[in-house]
Amino acid sequence: MEDEIKGKGFVIKDRRSFDEKGEARETQQQAPSAPEQERREQPQPGPGTEDARHRQEEMPPITFTDFIVSLSSSVIYHFGDIPDPVTRKAEKNLIAAKQTIDILGIIEQKTKGNLDENEKRLMDAILFELRMRYVKEAEKP
């Protein structure tokens, strides 16, 4: 078997480390050719890549406020106020709600002194409301 077969515009190279008899081949480490190197460096499109790239271009950059509101929305979901989009049933998960509230508390501590006045007011208000709501929900039978 030939190590290289040249055909119509492409080259097939046998890069196996053993020949058809099972004996080790002599390895020749060659740097990839320039066109091969360029092909390796460029991301290869996969199925749906165009759609994902298009959606990503349309999405505005997320802000700190967006992030905090998103987390608080997930707490509201875990309180059972928003039905699951698949099952269409609203279910309470107080453990997940508390965990997300605790995450918001960690973010509050870690960002102390780095938030502008609006971000600080938002964080304080959201944490206060969610913590009070959690206490009420945890007391319910």
Q: What tokens does 14 get?
A: 């046998």
CA atoms lying within 13 Å on the CB side of residue 104: 29
Q: Tens place of pLDDT for every residue, the chain, 141 residues? A: 445 555 566 677 777 777 777 777 776 555 555 555 555 555 555 555 566 666 667 888 899 999 999 999 999 999 999 988 898 999 999 999 999 999 999 999 999 999 999 999 999 999 999 999 999 999 987
* Domain segments of the chain as ranges: 60-139
Q: Cβ atoms within 10 A of the Cβ of 101, count?
A: 20
Give the other-Cβ count within 10 Å of 73's Cβ.
Answer: 13
**What's the confidence (pLDDT) of residue 72?**
97
The number of residues making up the chain comes to 141
